[in-house]
Structure 1
Amino acid sequence: MSDASLPLLLMGPMVRRADINEVCIQFATSSPINCRIELAHYDTYCEHEPVRLGEQLFLHFVIIKPIGIEFPHDELISYRLFNNNKEIDLSAFCYPNKVTPEFAVPKTLNQILHGSCRNPHHPAKDSLVAANHFVQDKRSDNEIGADILLLSGDQVYADDVAGAMLIAIYRLIDLLGIYKEHPLDITLPEKLTDQLYQRHLYLPAVPWQKRNKIGVGYWLKKDVPHFSSLKADNHLVFFEEFIALYLLNFSPSVWQLIDFESIHYQASTAKCQQIFDNEKAALSVFKDGLKDAQVLFANIPSYMMFDDHDVTDDWNLTAGWEQVIYQHPVSRRIVNNGLISYWLFQGFGNDAGHKTKSLLTLFQQSFTKDKLWQFKAFDKTILEFNHWHYELNTVPKVVVLDTRTHRWRNEQNFNEPSGLLDWERLVELEGSLLTHEQVIIVSPAPVFGVKSIEAIQSLFNICGQPLLVDVENWMAHEGSAKKLLDTFRRDDTPKETLILSGDVHYSFCFSVQKRFGKHPNRIWQLTASGIKNEFPRKLINVLDKLDSILYSPKSPLNFFTKRWQMEVDKHQTKSKGQKYLVSDSAISLITLEAGNLACYQLIHGDGHITEFDLEEQ
């Protein structure tokens, strides 16, 4: 397809960080542009950071700053995008009866949309569509609606990729001429169709000869895959694949270019064929919903944080996992490809480039004269980068945690789960909480999870299989658990702390208070997962009942957990058939009054709403 036949806008605009001093908007185009963004009624100037990723793919970050004043907060501001002096049509990104997209700079948070885990080929409906309908209804009533959109992990699934998605990825790579990386030392079948559902067989593995002779794996002559994902059949490998995946996750425009309906695959087995057909059907619904998702991103500031699937399942779960992955050149490259693409499409916008922009020069220097990426030098830089976490100067203050690259490793046993934060970052978190009446913490994994499920995870960990059940809860590491709980028990911590989490593919609402002491601090654990993913419903109902029996408020088993000094109350849904745990794709809506939690609801993919009862149980 020629440059002239491609649409100019390939992705976005997406409103990212927005405060009184600057607003960051990101988008992608098919050709280089000399752009500026104008905000209605305000004199501004723009800083433009273009990043070329292909012959016909340019990623743009535009930082808009006010001249002489500050941007107002908590009121809608419309914007227009120009290439030279020609306005680019943004009508597809507007709400009904609006001629331009609009956003508000958040200061006092009244409503927050929060969610995680958006798997395009999961059969559940995309809750971002329902979230957009909610904001659209509010805007039609001349209200802002949600102040911000927080996405706390697994915005993309790099390890769990549908067969039809992998074909779409390669069509888009060819169409846009997305630049490829220097060839890796990995041998995949030449034909893409021969790779489908077979890639896990070609990923790096530890040969059985190097395994410990004490284990049965050595005697069974069984290699150990480096990547522990149980759904790695179509795991992404190359940098260009990650870039295309992001475009296909965020933009409906690129789907219109690849003729999705013509994607076919003749599997060797009926089972594999059924999987492909089911995934393609789910993707067809997903791509149709992207029109709503792009409107939402264009009209509300969005903030993101990675979890494991943005890179690969179980990313940095144990020190042993890290040792195996980072000492192998191909495995290290795969992980770094996920991290680099996260930086480009998610991380840069979180801080408007204040710290993340420091990576840009070396990244661009990694592009060689033969138009290939050579990341040998850049890999070291991005692995050492330690500013993925960030804060929002809102009321309440928002503290977003990076629980993947600041791990507290178990130095005695490399196969034990690492703590989600190391000592230095926990001390920094402690400082962020002090002197505030209310604080919102975004932690991809719940701090206060379901005790029965954590007990099951502990059993697997004792058996030496932490990777099998993703033992990634805060209580799995003695040091990080103790330091975090000690922080929450301090008398000078906020009177109300909201912890927003995802990861687990079910949603719940717990309230927590320390058992001893006079400081009236309350912690709300609000977990919303997933936006387009679900835990098996029959199993979650069993675990819900099991947890209610084993860990009821008066159960003595509570005193055998690491958080025995904290009293955890579970809150049921108000709907018929009350539940503590909800497995039904949803994004959460958090309503605050004077900084305190007033209402916690789930907006489900089909539009219906579940509300949790916040009264004392």
Structure 2
Amino acid sequence: MPNPPDCEWLASLPLVLAGPILQRVETETVTVWVALKQSCRVMLTIYSTADRGQTIGEPLFRNSQQTVALGQSLHVVAVSAIAPAGRPLTSDALYAYDLSFHETYSLAVHTLPQGLVAADRPAINLSYFDHPLPTFALPPQDVADLRLVHGSCRKPGGEGFDALPVLDSLIADAADQPCHRPHQLLLTGDQIYADDVADPLLWVATRLGDALLGWEEQLPIGLDRLGQMIYQTPRSLPPGERSTVATDQAGLTAGLPRQPKKSNSHLFGLGEFYAAYLLGWSPACWPTLPPGRILYQEPKLIRQWDADVRKLRQFIHTLGKVQRSLANIPVYTIFDDHDVSDDWNLNRAWCLRVLGRPLGQRIVQNALLAYATFQAWGNTPEQFTAGQPGGALLAAAQDWAASAGSNVQAYGAVGRYVGMPATDAQTRQPKFVRCGQTLVLDRHPDALTWHYTIRSPCHEIILLDTRTWRGYPADQPPPAPPMLLCPEAYEQQLGQTLQPDSAASGDSILSPRLTFVVAPTNVFGLNVIDWVHEIQLRRRRVFASDVGDAWNIHSPALAQLLQYLFDRRQQVVVLSGDIHYSAAVRLTYQSGSSPPAVLVQLTASAFKNEETLTRLIHTRLKSWLLPERVRRWRGWRQPPDMVELPRKGDRATPPDWRCALEWIPRQPVCYPSFSKPNDWLPLPERRNELLRSRWYQPLLFWLSRWFQSGREVVGLNNIALVQFRAASRDRALSVVQDVYWFSPWRPIQLVYSRYEGEIKPNSAQLEPLDKAKGG
């Protein structure tokens, strides 16, 4: 049970621990996710508005839903309201919503503002208007009016300012304009970091997790000399001291090679994973962080703790803006590795190493249960109704919590529904099944589906699950790079989804809709990264640099991806993250005598995880030393494969298709007119310090605006706004990605870099392939 100080802390928290987060929004349904301290029936009501959102109109429809008890003091729900038949929501209007909370064990009813209030905490305002309600707008009819925001990789203890709060400014700037405010937010991976956790964050997460659960989880650490399982609680594995257990007992690879700091405070317990989400989305659950001298005596440890606390205090300082923005825009997410652990399912070697150990299995299952209840429920609410796998998972999660972690049947059911692979009884290793020439982790047929699609009149977005449906080469050693989608997954996630659209209009520029594909790991990246991956693969140091997460490290898989896309669509926009920089590229593809097709990849990363290397490639130094050049490939259909020029193909047959990749240049830095981050960004005690730094910043050459103007990428913490406009000629559409970041030459100045390119093939880049011999 929680100790008395934790009980007092829990009692001081507001009813609403995190949220509300607006999630899946369609013309007929609206889903809102919220985490509460008490069991409630939550009522969601959708309203019309007038006066450009200033006035709340009549209630349009409502629905209520009971929360799910994930712990004694943690109750979560994604409540969906359905519009009456024949009265759908429209794309040219602003809507508002309200929540009310009806306590299960009393007659008390709380309004949304009441649920957000706590005695010793500042008031939370979720509205951009004079009224207190959050608002939203549906995607428009015309793709030229569509506004998407995307980003990835948000580590609370990472370097630099958090870029996600910039979303609040983007919404505020056009909150009263349904066709111009951002319509959807796509979080493309690493919403939390289970590895590389700052020690103070784990210190809070462990205590908060235990307090919310109301019990301490018994983690299976390993076997003693007599072959009996040893159990320890999360609190008995303190911050900064988990690396050995994470690496040797759980088999995790985050600390390899010689990087123990990245696993020193790895999340283990279910309560810790729940807490990581709450702490990343809301300021409500954060206590005052103690100074290092209270916990340590060694000066080095004190300094490191205090440095981490300063980063976290800055992160907490802007969480109110994050909470407001997530309440006012439909949010869609998909996981990547850090939501579970670095290198999650990277290759078959990782699966055998981690999923063959009790602690490794427990950590992965805890992470997936937290992802399912905190993210996937709102992404695909239809899966979490009664009689569906998600509904069964919620029931099992409640049983597991009610038993204080002792109900073996409930634990097994959780594993079944989140897709944990079956284990061989003799070897204790995870089971694989054959899928073409690859091996895929075995799972129960009732497991949740993580990939999904969202559609509007002007666009469709396919969010890929490239983590749990990997195809590991059956004829190669375990460290070999996998197909990020096995053959069966290509058909499930792309083949069945990219069907002809009966809603296509004959005069549409883009027929039928503009197709987006969210690929959490980059389809195309910097050439130097490909070189590093090839070198590390030959040295079998695959965990050091994520060899296996890049699509083009496995050329047959990349070839098959391109074929699946271009056999069904002529224009595709890929949204990606993962790589800790932002960029834009355009691929022109032609198969036989067919008209050429085009793929534009827009990358946005990281919200908060800039590093020394990304700061370097952000500058002109990268453009001088390692400029990106046009790359060209020839490809074959059966079996799928592709080779890059100037290398010649190994086949005697002529290629079936060819493609060329070019980088869309980063335009000169611009200053937005809508935001003054010096008013809200820095901690009060740091504001004067940062303002004073303006006097000497011009003397630091490497921080100057000129040197920071690299050609290809933005390597500082950033967030991207994507919009479209019709080009002046031949009715082609241009895509514009504005990447917002904080300038080094004026540290509290928000700037943006623009990437703009037409969504049409550049056939001129294919001409060298026609002239080249061989293949």
Q: What TM-score results when the alignment is normalised by the length of structure 2?
A: 0.71
Higher relative contact order (CA 8 A, sep 6+): 1
After superposition, give the CA deviation of every residue in 1:449-492 in whole Å (9 maximum; x if it has no partner): 222211220111122111111011111224322211323443xx
- Displacement after TM superposition at 1:46 (Å): 1.4
Q: Which of 372, 377, 393 is the aligned partner of 1:348?
A: 377
- Displacement after TM superposition at 1:8 (Å): 1.3
- Displacement after TM superposition at 1:204 (Å): 5.0
Q: Is the 8 A contact 1:23 1:63 kept in 2?
A: yes
Q: Is the 8 A contact 1:118 1:532 kept in 2?
A: yes
Give 1:574's aligned residue.
667
After superposition, give the CA deviation of every residue in 1:257-289 in whole Å (9 maximum; x if it has no partner): x22256766556544443322221111011111
Give 2:455's aligned residue.
393
Structure 1 or 2, whichever has the larger Rg, is 2
- Displacement after TM superposition at 1:518 (Å): 3.9
The answer to whether the aligner puts 1:87 opposite 2:111 as a matched pair is yes
The answer to whether the aligner puts 1:548 opposite 2:634 as a matched pair is no
Between stretches 543-552 and 177-186, larger displacement belongs to 543-552
Tell me the SS of whatever aligns to 2:221.
Answer: coil
The answer to whether the aligner puts 1:601 opposite 2:738 as a matched pair is yes
Residues 167, 263 of structure 1: alpha-carbon distance in 2 compared, 3 angstrom cutoff: farther
- Displacement after TM superposition at 1:336 (Å): 1.1
Matches of 1:191 and 1:152 in 2, distance apart?
A: 29
The answer to whether the aligner puts 1:245 opposite 2:245 as a matched pair is no
Residues 142, 303 of structure 1: alpha-carbon distance in 2 compared, 3 angstrom cutoff: closer
Q: Is the 8 A contact 2:215 2:404 kept in 1?
A: no
- Displacement after TM superposition at 1:79 (Å): 1.3
Amino acid at match of 1:435: P
Q: Is the 8 A contact 2:253 2:343 kept in 1?
A: no
Q: Which of 111, 116, 130 is the aligned partner of 2:147?
A: 111
Matches of 1:308 and 1:265 in 2, distance apart?
A: 34
Matches of 2:156 and 2:178 in 1, distance apart?
A: 32
Matches of 1:88 and 1:292 in 2, distance apart?
A: 17
Q: Which of 18, 21, 24 is the aligned partner of 2:25?
A: 18
- Displacement after TM superposition at 1:9 (Å): 1.2
Q: Is the 8 A contact 1:154 1:308 kept in 2?
A: yes
Residues 196, 146 of structure 1: alpha-carbon distance in 2 compared, 3 angstrom cutoff: same
Matches of 1:376 and 1:102 in 2, distance apart?
A: 40
Between stretches 472-481 and 147-156, larger displacement belongs to 472-481
Give 1:314's aligned residue.
343
Q: Which of 368, 376, 401 is the aligned partner of 1:367?
A: 401
Give 2:518's aligned residue.
442
Q: Is the 8 A contact 2:452 2:464 kept in 1?
A: yes
Tell me the SS of whatever aligns to 1:123.
Answer: coil
Matches of 2:276 and 2:648 in 1, distance apart?
A: 41
Q: Is the 8 A contact 2:471 2:485 kept in 1?
A: yes
After superposition, give the CA deviation of every residue in 1:418-461 in whole Å (9 maximum; x if it has no partner): 11111112123134334363200000011122222112201111
Residues 474, 277 of structure 1: alpha-carbon distance in 2 compared, 3 angstrom cutoff: same
- Displacement after TM superposition at 1:30 (Å): 1.4
- Displacement after TM superposition at 1:192 (Å): 5.4
Alignment map for 1:1-400 (pairs within 5 Å)? 1=7, 5-40=12-47, 41-68=58-85, 69-84=87-102, 86-89=110-113, 92-106=125-139, 108=141, 110-139=146-175, 145-185=181-221, 195-203=238-246, 205=248, 230=259, 231-255=262-286, 258-261=287-290, 266-267=295-296, 270-354=299-383, 356-370=390-404, 374=408, 375-383=411-419, 384=443, 385-394=447-456, 395-400=458-463
Residues 488, 58 of structure 1: alpha-carbon distance in 2 compared, 3 angstrom cutoff: closer
- Displacement after TM superposition at 1:11 (Å): 0.9
Long gaps (5+) in structure 2: 1-6, 48-57, 103-108, 117-123, 223-229, 385-389, 420-442, 502-510, 634-642, 650-654, 669-705, 727-731, 743-748, 766-775
Q: Which of 584, 593, 599 is the aligned partner of 1:509?
A: 584
Give 2:120's aligned residue.
none
Q: Is the 8 A contact 2:582 2:604 kept in 1?
A: yes
Q: Which of 457, 469, 475 is the aligned partner of 2:533?
A: 457
Matches of 2:191 and 2:404 in 1, distance apart?
A: 32
- Displacement after TM superposition at 1:77 (Å): 0.8
Residues 154, 549 of structure 1: alpha-carbon distance in 2 compared, 3 angstrom cutoff: closer
Matches of 1:599 and 1:370 in 2, distance apart?
A: 51
The answer to whether the aligner puts 1:497 opposite 2:528 as a matched pair is no
Matches of 2:358 and 2:609 in 1, distance apart?
A: 32
Q: Is the 8 A contact 2:628 2:663 kept in 1?
A: no
Between stretches 557-566 and 469-478, larger displacement belongs to 557-566
After superposition, give the CA deviation of every residue in 1:199-252 in whole Å (9 maximum; x if it has no partner): 011225289xxxxxxxxxxxxxxxx76555641110011111111111111111
Tell me the SS of whatever aligns to 2:468.
Answer: coil
Matches of 2:15 and 2:165 in 1, distance apart?
A: 24
Matches of 2:377 and 2:326 in 1, distance apart?
A: 15
